């Protein structure tokens, strides 16, 4: 006879955080579409002394046990910066994974509710991470397509559990799978040429030295802050967060897959190439490589699989992670410049598919960018909310 008693333990030590991370990996080990998240990244994100989001966030982590065995996990997060910006008192639930047992999911959410009330919150939302750069949303469509390390993946029963607990939809994101064309679409190529001449906008490639040491990376994320500032629950990245993203991600990127738009009419002593007004950041998909690692860990041989993907592009899919074009330039059609450049590199590297970042279903400005391509929505993620 199954015991119904559920024990909730607070996660405190590094060893306990390791178990918190491993629970999700073990839960999905037999799911053919799941990938383990990179263990090192998860550990850094959950470490209060390493994640710069803790400058304005606070959090607690919990694991659920039945008969001494782990059966679920959740994080309770308060982003004070976002709450202040949006004039709200939200506690977030994130890192939410559990077996198909309504008592387990309810016990975990009750713990987040309790944490929120203790800290003066009045609403619970999620799944959300610390900031917008973290994974957000619960998968509600697209369970049979390969997951990525950049987006949440979960079993279909998750949404049933959360809705039974009284949560309602707060926001949806969609991901589209785009067929990389054999050549740049004619209309897009013409738009690129036209706006390049009319507005003196040009695609640029940058070196790692320029990005990390010469301030261009900082400019990239300042453009991102401006582009994303009005999006759901967004809180602007701090310089420390930007520095962390530059060192951990852009410093290892294949910069042929990262394109920048410069307004060359705005050259100055400070900006000799012109003013950066947009960017597109993509990486080869690490999904297959991560499935070959031992629970998402780099050692002993996990690093080799990821390095092969990064350097030799042994995948047919590229992940288009970030797109940002300042609104006044987006209206001029500057997005076409990004795709015109990136498509040429995708073809050179042999990519046949591109998976987009998660885009808000109401963000027509970004969604319209795919009108020139063969594209279909393959995943839908949802955030939920409820009153405490």
Report pTM.
Answer: 0.94
Q: Is the predicted pLDDT of residue 308 greater than 60, yes or no?
A: yes
What tokens does 232 get? 């759901």
Residue 95: pLDDT band by 50, 70, 90 thresholds? very high
Measured distance CA(243)–CA(269) in Å, rounded: 24
Q: Is the predicted pLDDT of residue 3 greater than 60, yes or no?
A: no
- In tens, the pLDDT along 200-216 reads 999 999 999 999 889 99
Q: Is the predicted pLDDT of residue 2 greater than 70, yes or no?
A: no
**Alpha-carbon distance values, 171 to 56, 278, 380 (Å):** 23, 26, 10
CA dihedral angle for residue 287, residue 139, residue 327, residue 181, rounded to 10 degrees: 50
Burial tier of 40 (Cβ tally within 10 Å: 0-12, 13-18, 19+)? middle
- In tens, the pLDDT along 9-32 reads 999 999 999 999 999 999 999 999
Residue 348: pLDDT band by 50, 70, 90 thresholds? very high
- In tens, the pLDDT along 238-295 reads 999 999 998 888 888 999 999 999 999 999 888 888 999 999 999 999 999 999 998 9
User: pLDDT at position 1, please?
Assistant: 40
Closest CA to 311 of 260, 347, 257: 257
Q: Is the predicted pLDDT of residue 336 greater than 70, yes or no?
A: yes
Max distance between CA atoms of the chain, in angstroms, equals 75
């Amino acid at each position: 006879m199954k015991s119904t008693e559920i024990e909730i333990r607070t996660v405190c030590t590094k060893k306990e955080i390791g178990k918190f991370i491993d629970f999700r990996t073990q839960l999905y080990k037999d799911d053919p579409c799941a990938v383990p998240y990179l263990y090192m990244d998860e550990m850094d994100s959950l470490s209060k002394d390493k994640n710069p989001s803790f400058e304005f966030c606070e959090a607690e982590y919990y694991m659920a046990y039945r008969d001494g065995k782990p059966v679920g996990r959740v994080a309770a997060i308060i982003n004070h910066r976002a709450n202040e910006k949006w004039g709200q008192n939200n506690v977030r639930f994130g890192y939410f994974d559990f077996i198909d047992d309504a008592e387990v999911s309810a016990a975990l959410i009750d713990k987040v509710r309790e944490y929120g009330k203790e800290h003066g919150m009045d609403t619970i939302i999620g799944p959300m991470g610390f900031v917008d750069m973290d994974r957000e949303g619960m998968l509600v469509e697209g369970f049979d397509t390969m997951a990525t390390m950049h987006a949440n993946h979960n079993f279909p029963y998750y949404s049933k559990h959360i809705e039974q607990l009284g949560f309602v939809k707060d926001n949806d994101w969609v991901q589209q799978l785009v067929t990389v064309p054999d050549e740049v679409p004619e209309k897009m190529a013409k738009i690129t040429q036209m706006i390049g001449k009319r507005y003196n906008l040009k695609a640029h490639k940058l070196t790692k030295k320029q990005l990390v040491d010469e301030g261009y990376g900082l400019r990239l994320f300042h453009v991102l802050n401006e582009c994303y500032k009005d999006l759901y629950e967004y809180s602007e990245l701090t310089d420390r967060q930007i520095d962390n993203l530059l060192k951990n991600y852009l410093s290892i990127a294949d910069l042929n897959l990262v394109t920048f738009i410069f307004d060359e009419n705005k050259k100055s002593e400070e900006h000799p190439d012109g003013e950066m007004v947009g960017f597109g950041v993509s990486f080869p998909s690490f999904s297959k490589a991560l499935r070959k690692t031992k629970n998402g860990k780099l050692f002993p041989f996990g690093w080799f699989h990821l390095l092969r993907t990064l350097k030799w592009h042994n995948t047919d899919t590229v992940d288009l992670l970030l797109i940002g074009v300042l609104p006044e330039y987006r209206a001029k059609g500057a997005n076409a410049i990004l795709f015109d450049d990136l498509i040429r590199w995708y073809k050179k590297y042999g990519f046949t598919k591109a998976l987009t970042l998660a885009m808000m279903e109401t963000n027509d400005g970004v969604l319209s960018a795919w009108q020139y391509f063969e594209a279909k929505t393959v995943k839908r993620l949802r955030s939920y909310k409820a009153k405490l």
